[in-house]
Amino acid sequence: MCGIVGIYNFKGNVEKHDLYKMLKQIEHRGPDYKNV
């Protein structure tokens, strides 16, 4: 999952994808997703 986050961040299209919203919800579960 962290790999996917890194790829989307690299493309700079995170905010345009629904995955971004899902990942934001996942952030509440653990801080690991913020430290990619």
| Predicted local distance difference test score (pLDDT) of residue 1 | 47
Asked if residues 20 and 14 have their Cβ atoms less than 8 Å apart, the reply is yes
User: Which residues constitute the domain of residue 7?
Assistant: 2-33
Query: Is pTM beyond 0.75 here?
Result: no
Q: Count of CB atoms within 10 A of residue 25's CB?
A: 8
Torsion of CA 23, 1, 33, 11, to 10 degrees: -70
The crossing angle, in degrees rounded to 10, of helices 2-11 and 18-27 is 130
| Predicted local distance difference test score (pLDDT) of residue 27 | 66
Consecutive 10-residue averages of pLDDT for the chain (36 residues) = 61 63 70 56
For the chain, the domain total comes to 1
| Predicted local distance difference test score (pLDDT) of residue 23 | 74
